[in-house]
Amino acid sequence: MLGLLVAIAGIFLLKRFVYGLGAVSNLSAGYPWGLWVTWDLIIGSSLGCGGFAMAMLIYVFNQGHYHPLMRPALLSSLFGYVLAGSAAIIDMGRWWQFYNLLLPWHWNFSSVMLETGLCVSAYTMLLFVETSPMVLERFGLEKWRKRVASVMWLIIAIGILLPFMHQSSLGSILLVSGHKLSPLYYTPFLPLLFVSSVLAMGYALVVFEATVVTKSFRLASEHHMLARLSHLIGWILAGWLLLRWGDLLWRGALGDALAPTALAASFWFENALALFAAIAFLSPAARRDEVWTFLAAVALLLFAIVYRFNAYLVAYTPAIDGYEYFPSVQEILVTLGMIALEILLYVVCIKLFPVLHAPVRQVAHA
Amino acid sequence: MNIEAGQQTSFDVVLDASADQPVGLLGGLTRRQMMKFCAGVAATMGLSQAAGVRMALAAENPKRPPVIWLHGQECTGCTESLLRSYHPTLESLILDVISLDYHDTLCVGAGKQALDYKHKIMEEYRGKYILVTEGGTPMAADGIYCKVGGRTQVELVREAAAGAAAVIAIGSCASWGGVQSAFPNPTGAVGTAEVIPGTTVINVPGCPPNPYNFLSTVLHILTFGEPPALDELNRPKFAYGRLIHENCERRPHFDAGRFALEFGDAGHRQGYCLYKIGCKGPETHANCPAIGFGDVGEGNWPVGIGAPCFGCTEKGVGFTKPIHALANLVSQTPPSLYPSVDGARGHGASPGAAALVGGVVGVALGAGAMFVKDMAQERDQAAAQKKPAREV
């Protein structure tokens, strides 16, 4: 089934590269960014922040007991970012010019896009290095594993820095759009809102993944770890909501939320999800319960996804009126195929490499 | 690059080694700075760089021409505008370039002392001084509606104009009567040209006019001894030769049929053309879009900040037409078939795409529900198993 979706996406991608963007997507001069940028790139890379969020928790705040969650999170980060990077190229009108990003004499230092592009590329490279021990262990390349391990502290440190930079830049990009963005979403705090929501999203993804994987593969439950993590997520999310609503009230932008528009509906849906997740994560009873924790994590992920969809597409009005956009069937199928590919590779990797439980012993020895 | 280099060479011909020393006569500017300023002014008027050099030399001339500045029916906005010129500043203009010997607002002396000095200058420099009039002149009831020192404005203007080398009318009021000449014009206000028929009056209209249009005109007179090329209304062509509409930054919106329809609507917020809310740009001649106001860069002029042009430089438009009346389209007419303003572009949701999204959401919801249901069942089973064990 997943393979079929990947194959369909492959066909449309081929069509996209032979006949151009217009043949496959509904992108237009008014909406140069559509589903591919919003889902595959923005949300894809945000979903890929599990690794970053966990690395920060484990290494910066020295919470070693979370370590078993690290490798699965890193792996999903790697796929999230590879997907984001390839989506950028797929979505680029003149993708063959992409190499110019790597030529420093072509750099425009006042561009948020440059910062994002470079930072995402660098972080994807880092993720390959960070995940390499799994592959090296699998093939018993002990000498190489040690070499990588000796510089891992530096890699991890940069790996925590970079997402802070580009995930906030993904919000800064929207600052450039000015009046095109609804006042409900346009705020000087966009970068902070993006980077802090991505942190909560990263942890929620870890909860989601750990639950799904342990259930699907019938492994021992990791709920004791997830419950503690949930508390942290709850506070991050509560802080986020406070900042978001404080800013909305302070700017007096809430009027738009009461207008009978699709945006307002989407705004309330987004905030209802966030509120549900925050309450569930902060209530001790719900935290003790595996099912509620899982539901809260799903709600948080949905919230963060809807927030990004709203900010990048629903709340966005092109400078020239009259444009509308909804992804085409082919566009959606490409995205579905990419997701399918990601899940497929994740499952294959879990089976091939020591992702899930091996690290516990490794760390104990280290 | 080349222009800079060319400028440099033409400067070096006249500038000596002391060119970068501040000169008191130029208000602390160096000769090179003054040279650059004049080259800029020359470029504004479409003259060559050589003319810029000549202007700089004329401005440095110790025998600065006296200027007599009269105020009639006006708000002193033109003087205020001039006070806000920064290259050169007003003080370097009136102390170094011209000799502003009489100006109601700016002169130090007052009353009889000031008027006596004015008469002294008018006698001494008869046929040499420049007369600037700011404000309209009331003609009704023998001009009794505006008097200075017991004499009517009509008399004062005629007296001063008799001995002037050139007469410049600054602002819309002096050019054709301005705001007080609006219907029903109870004071019979007219422009300076109508007070002294037969004399050429250079009109620099505007409310207020851009100070650099005035400065450029003055420097042209100082340098070449004659006014710049004038249009049929005696306005300098370098500044009033073109319609605002021709150089307006919002012009593409006009051509594309994108108009603000009321203040604060979506089009107004997005910088659309202001024609339909009464912008008089299509029938008003001025260089506002090209040089802007206040020395703060481009876009700083009425239309640039979203206020429709009201036609202050055009007799019969400014202060005459209702502010929100449609302008006459002097040169360009809008295309008869506009592209649709609110027609849909791009693609909305197709039934297939909607069905696909619905399907994906449905599958995700279904799978999620099943997963959660299984989880809940397992939890309940585990709890059921634990409970009896604990009781036993």
State the CATH number of the domain containing residue B220: 3.40.50.700
Mean pLDDT, rounded, for A324-333: 91
Q: What percent of chain A has pLDDT over 90?
A: 25
- C-alpha angle with apex B316: B314 to B319, nearest 5 degrees? 85
What pLDDT sits at residue B338? 61
User: Is residue B386 one of the residues assigned to a domain?
Assistant: no
Give the CA-trace dihedral at B137, B140, B145, B147, to 10 degrees: 60
Task: Evaluate if residue A274 carries a pLDDT over 70.
Answer: yes
Residue with tokens 């984001």: A84
Residues in chain A within 8 Å Cβ distance of B366 = none
Task: Evaluate if residue B5 carries a pLDDT over 70.
Answer: no
Radius of gyration over every alpha carbon of chain A, rounded to an integer in angstroms: 21
Give the CA-trace dihedral at B156, B159, B165, B168, to 10 degrees: 20
Specify whether B185 is located in the same domain as B289. no
Residues in chain B within 8 Å Cβ distance of A331 = 353
Contact B171, B134 (CB under 8 A): yes
What confidence category does residue B277 fall into, taking pLDDT thresholds of 50, 70 and 90? very high
Residues in chain B within 8 Å Cβ distance of A326 = 347-350, 353-354
What pLDDT sits at residue A304? 93
Task: Evaluate if residue A237 carries a pLDDT over 90.
Answer: yes
What pLDDT sits at residue B27? 58
Specify whether B88 is located in the same domain as B20. no
Mean pLDDT, rounded, for B286-313: 88
Per-residue pLDDT of A286-299, as tens digits, reads: 888 888 889 999 99
For residue B2, the distance in angstroms to the closest alpha carbon of chain A comes to: 25
Please answer yes or no on whether B269 and A179 come within 8 Å at the CB atom: yes
What pLDDT sits at residue B179? 92
Q: If you ran DSSP here, which 8-state letter would residue A356 be given?
A: S
Mean pLDDT, rounded, for A13-17: 91
Given B206, B225, B240, the domain boundary residue is B240
Lowest mean pLDDT among A277-286, A297-306, A346-355, B238-247: A346-355
Specify whether B174 is located in the same domain as B105. yes
Please answer yes or no on whether B346 and A324 come within 8 Å at the CB atom: yes
Given B62, B77, B99, the domain boundary residue is B62
The first and second tokens of residue B371, run together, are: 């997963």
Q: CA-nearest residue of chain A to B347?
A: A325
User: Is residue B247 one of the residues assigned to a domain?
Assistant: yes
Specify whether B221 is located in the same domain as B133. yes
Q: What distance lies between CA A340 and its chain's CA centroid?
A: 16
Query: How many C-alpha atoms does A358 have within 13 Å on its Cβ side?
Result: 13
Residues in chain B within 8 Å Cβ distance of A329 = 350, 352-353, 356
What pLDDT sits at residue A332? 92
C-alpha span between B246 and B281 (Å, rounded): 8
Task: Evaluate if residue B7 carries a pLDDT over 70.
Answer: no
User: Is residue B385 one of the residues assigned to a domain?
Assistant: no
Domain of B295, CATH number, reads 4.10.480.10
Specify whether B103 is located in the same domain as B234. yes
Please answer yes or no on whether B345 and A332 come within 8 Å at the CB atom: no
For residue B390, the distance in angstroms to the closest alpha carbon of chain A comes to: 19
For residue B102, the surrounding DSSP H or E stretch is strand B99-103
Specify whether B71 is located in the same domain as B55. no
Specify whether B260 is located in the same domain as B300. yes
- List of domains in chain A: 2-365 (1.20.1630.10)
User: Is residue B362 one of the residues assigned to a domain?
Assistant: no
The first and second tokens of residue A5, run together, are: 């979706």
Given B224, B240, B256, the domain boundary residue is B240
User: Is residue B347 one of the residues assigned to a domain?
Assistant: no
Report the domain count for chain B. Answer: 3
Residues in chain A within 8 Å Cβ distance of B354 = 326
* Domain extent for B12: 1-62
Please answer yes or no on whether A215 and B348 come within 8 Å at the CB atom: no
Q: Which of B131, B150, B104 is nearest to B195 (CA)?
A: B131
Chains A, B: CB pairs < 8 Å:
73
What pLDDT sits at residue B23? 63
User: Is residue B354 one of the residues assigned to a domain?
Assistant: no
In chain B, how many H helices and how many E strands?
16, 10
C-alpha span between B78 and B136 (Å, rounded): 12
Specify whether B182 is located in the same domain as B255. no
**A146 at the B interface (CB within 8 A)?**
no
Task: Evaluate if residue A75 carries a pLDDT over 90.
Answer: no
Task: Evaluate if residue B174 carries a pLDDT over 70.
Answer: yes
Q: What average pLDDT does chain A have?
A: 86
Contact A144, A136 (CB under 8 A): yes
Specify whether B146 is located in the same domain as B255. no
Task: Evaluate if residue A359 carries a pLDDT over 50.
Answer: no
- Which residue in A290, A322, A336 is closest to B344 by CB distance? A322
Specify whether B213 is located in the same domain as B276. no
Q: CA-nearest residue of chain A to B272?
A: A320
Please answer yes or no on whether A332 and B360 come within 8 Å at the CB atom: yes
- Which residue in B347, B374, B375 is closest to A326 by CB distance? B347
Residue of B269, B350, B356 best to disrupt the A interface, most CBs of A under 10 A? B356
How far the first Cα of chain A sits from its last, in Å, is 41
Task: Evaluate if residue A309 carries a pLDDT over 90.
Answer: yes
What confidence category does residue B236 fall into, taking pLDDT thresholds of 50, 70 and 90? very high
Task: Evaluate if residue B315 carries a pLDDT over 70.
Answer: yes
For residue B223, the distance in angstroms to the closest alpha carbon of chain A comes to: 45
Specify whether B246 is located in the same domain as B154. no
What pLDDT sits at residue A363? 41
Q: Could you tell me whether strands B130-134 and B166-170 are parallel, antiparallel, or unpaired per DSSP bridges?
A: parallel
Q: Could you tell me whether strands B147-148 and B151-152 are parallel, antiparallel, or unpaired per DSSP bridges?
A: antiparallel
Task: Evaluate if residue B335 carries a pLDDT over 70.
Answer: no
**A212 at the B interface (CB within 8 A)?**
yes
For residue B161, the distance in angstroms to the closest alpha carbon of chain A comes to: 54
Per-residue pLDDT of A166-216, as tens digits, reads: 888 889 889 888 888 988 999 999 999 999 999 888 888 888 888 888 888
- Which residue in A179, A290, A332 is closest to B356 by CB distance? A332
Specify whether B211 is located in the same domain as B286. no
The residue that leads in pLDDT, B58 or B235, is B235
User: Is residue B366 one of the residues assigned to a domain?
Assistant: no
Residues in chain A within 8 Å Cβ distance of B340 = 322
User: Is residue B262 one of the residues assigned to a domain?
Assistant: yes
